[in-house]
Amino acid sequence: MTQVAQQPLPDHVPPELAMALPLFSRTVIYDNPQEVLIPAMHAELPPITYVTNIFPGDQPGWLLKNAEDVQAMLRDADNFTKNGMGKWAQNIGENWLVIPTEADPPVHTGYRKALNSHFSPQKMFAMKEQVRERAQALIDAFKDRGQCDFIDEFSEKFPIYIVLDLLGLPQERMTQFLKWEKEMLHSNDWQVRGNAVRCVKDYLLEEIEARRQQPRADYISKVLTFEVDGRLWNDDEVFGHCFNLYIGGLDTVTSLLGNIFNYLASHPDKQNALRVDPSLIVLAVEEFLRAFAPVTAFRIATKVIEIHGQKIMPGDYVAFSSPVVGRDPAFYEDPQAIRFDRKAPHMSLGSGIHKCLGMHLARLELQIAVEEFVKAIPEFRIKDGFRVPYYVGNILHVPDLHLQWS
């Protein structure tokens, strides 16, 4: 399952804890990693491992395997920072932050105070029919065909429609937005990632400036009125927040939907349970979030600390992999089973002060996608002869999924 680390190790890293892991190899495989790689990691790995390929560009960091350790880290803003965590600005020689994701207290508190009301359950619920109409329109385009390319025709487009509606950006730019998003989030080449970041930055700055000159009834115009510490947000803060919505709103829901519908297509009893009783969908989505979360994210140690007797030095990256944590057998009873009545907590949308700003919108999108799909489409399955690919990396997802029904 593992490969011994080849690169020179820092002095505080024991060689026996250092390895490259297939889960972060940033390639396509054909064995479901949720069924093969992740259970093997829980069976074989120690609680903390120095993974030499865990960060894009095959850069190293510590992986915490157990849910309890991850929960403690996510709630510890004294010993861990998110400042510059994604290296988005650093990669293009700049120093802005992704707001509020990369901010630390106390300024993070001020950012969230300005933002939380705009992403409250009530505000997101008000978008319900708009979200539903987007889902229905996409499904209507293929429901009578008896088959679909689920990723291309639904899961990539659906969340992008919603984010573009929210930001007031043109839907006709979707193809370009998708290209930039994939280059930023799925490439292992930092030059490719950096070029995409520059393109997104240039585009968003144009849109922001257009609203400075002529405000509209959209979210970007609202951001220009936000305050922190008694002042308006500066240019870097406005851009950093719009960038946050761009990268956070597009890919995570797409990846979750691919993982979820791959499972449902292979488990007709589960999809039919949701079809017969749609009231199960809310809890089912929470179980899907636990079991099919795609993202491996990071904190950076700010002090010398110890976890399970292992010294972590300032500047070390420490990872929590939501697909790994969500299947921790020490935390969840029979974690490989998908149970709609589980009602167990999960950390797939974060924990502590950095809990996902868009979590209520993400839940709404997932609930409506499942509800509308099983309502409009009869029992579906993986298309005959199609072999499902799985991309393993920092965002675990199904890059291609062909479904059929009769």
Concatenated DSSP letters of 321-346: EHHHHTT-TTTSSSTTS--TT-----
pLDDT (0 to 100) of residue 248: 82
Sign of CA dihedral 44, 47, 48, 51: positive
Cα separation, 358 vs 249, in Å, equals 8
pLDDT 10s digits, 172-201: 888 898 899 889 988 889 999 999 999 999
Q: Percentages helix, strand, coil for the chain, rounded to the nearest 5?
A: 50, 15, 35
pLDDT of residue 57: 87
Confidence band (pLDDT; 50, 70, 90) for 20?
Answer: very high
pLDDT at 99: 96
Residue 257's contacts (CB-CB under 8 Å, 6 or more residues apart) are 150, 154, 155, 158, 159, 366, 369
- Cα(276)–Cα(375) distance, rounded to whole angstroms? 9
pLDDT, tens digit (0-9, with 9 covering 90-100), for 289-325: 999 999 999 999 999 999 999 999 999 999 999 999 9
Cα–Cα distance, 160 to 166 (Å, whole number): 10
Rounded to 5 degrees, φ, ψ at 60 are: -90, 165
* CA gap 350, 101 in Å, rounded: 11
Average pLDDT in the 149-172 region?
92
Token pair, residue 335, equals 């974690």
| pLDDT tens-digit series, residues 56-97 | 988 999 999 999 999 999 999 999 999 988 899 999 999 999
Q: Is it the case that residue 19 has pLDDT exceeding 80? A: yes
**Which pair of tokens denotes residue 103?**
């901010």
> What whole-number distance in Å separates Cα of residue 346 and Cα of residue 1?
26
The answer on pLDDT for 6 being more than 70 is no
Q: Is the pLDDT of residue 5 over 70?
A: no
308-313: Cβ within 8 A, 24+ apart: 308/46, 308/47, 308/48, 308/69, 310/14, 310/17, 310/48, 310/62, 311/12, 312/12, 312/62, 313/10, 313/12
Question: How would residue 4 be classed by pLDDT, with cut points 50, 70 and 90?
Answer: low
Separation of CA 210 from chain center: 29
| pLDDT tens-digit series, residues 123-159 | 999 999 999 999 999 999 999 999 999 999 999 999 9
Element (H, E) at 265: helix 235-266
Residue recorded with tokens 């539903």: 132
Confidence (pLDDT) at 244: 93
Which tokens go with 86? Answer: 């994604």
Tell me 152's DSSP state: I
Nearest CA among 377, 131, 156, 391 for reference residue 265? 377
Q: Provide the angle, in degrees to the nearest 10, between the axes of the packed helices 359-376 and 235-266.
A: 30
- What would the two tokens of residue 181 be? 């998003």
- Whole-model pTM: value is 0.95
Q: What are 326-354's pLDDT values in tens digits?
A: 999 999 999 999 999 998 899 999 888 88
Q: Decide if pLDDT at 2 tops 80.
A: no
**What is d(CA 306, CA 171) in angstroms, rounded to the nearest whole number?**
48
pLDDT at 84: 87
Q: How far apart are CA 194 and CA 239, in angstroms?
A: 16
Q: What domains appear along the chain, each with residue ranges and CATH number?
A: 3-405 (1.10.630.10)
Write down the pLDDT at residue 166.
86
Q: Is 106 left (phi over 0), alpha (psi -120 to 50) or beta?
A: alpha
pLDDT of residue 3: 60
pLDDT in tens, 217-266: 999 999 999 999 999 999 999 999 999 998 887 788 999 999 999 999 99
Residue 146, pLDDT score: 98
